[in-house]
């Protein structure tokens, strides 16, 4: 991926299969704890930066600088490709699991990928049967070996 591509918001193209959830999930409460904390820090920093003005130049400064009203959840939506309503629902729900694909997209947008394997772990989706999981693993092995 080029540097220019990394600086562009993700397209809203979903890579999830229609009508199916991801084969991997992460613990919902732990995921929400980390992402909600990030959102609070982002919004607090945004509010603080909106208040700062060079001394003695308040009128000119306010006219020349326009701070876009993009808060944490909107930022995540733009850069992850996950819909805003889906983000709001995910961060306010009490769901036990969050799909791996959504979690990875949001953590990447927030710059929190360092949490993988430390605070957050992907596990097989508990709603899948053993047979479905094994079939997916076989399918993935074929994809990886092609």
**Closest residue by Cα to residue 72 from 116, 119, 36:** 36
Please state, rounded to an integer, the average pLDDT across all residues of the chain. 80
Per-residue pLDDT of 97-115, as tens digits, reads: 999 999 999 999 999 999 9
Q: Taking residues 51-78, what's their average pLDDT?
A: 65
pLDDT of 120 above 60: yes
pLDDT class of 22 with cuts at 50, 70, 90: confident
pLDDT class of 15 with cuts at 50, 70, 90: very low
Can you spell out the DSSP letters for 120-131? Answer: B--EE-TTS-HH
- The confidence score (pLDDT) of residue 146 equals 46
Cβ atoms 75, 106 nearer than 8 A:
no
Provide the token pair at 22.
Answer: 């991801």
Sequence ranges of the domains in the chain: 24-121
- The confidence score (pLDDT) of residue 12 equals 43
- The confidence score (pLDDT) of residue 10 equals 53
- The confidence score (pLDDT) of residue 16 equals 40
pLDDT of 35 above 80: yes
- The confidence score (pLDDT) of residue 140 equals 86
In terms of residues, how long is the chain?
146
């Amino acid at each position: 991926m080029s540097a220019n591509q990394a600086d562009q918001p993700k397209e809203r193209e979903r890579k999830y299969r229609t009508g199916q959830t991801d084969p991997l999930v992460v613990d919902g409460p732990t995921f929400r704890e980390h992402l909600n904390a990030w959102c609070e820090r982002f919004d607090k920093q945004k509010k603080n930066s909106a208040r700062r003005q060079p001394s003695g130049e308040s009128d000119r400064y306010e006219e020349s600088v326009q701070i876009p009203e993009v808060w944490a959840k909107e930022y995540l939506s733009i850069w992850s490709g996950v819909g805003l309503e889906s983000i709001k629902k995910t961060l306010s729900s009490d769901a036990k699991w969050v799909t791996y694909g959504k979690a990875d997209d949001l953590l990447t947008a927030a710059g929190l990928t360092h949490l993988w394997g430390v605070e957050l772990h992907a596990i097989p989706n508990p709603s899948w049967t053993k047979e479905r999981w094994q079939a997916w693993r076989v399918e993935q092995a074929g994809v990886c070996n092609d």
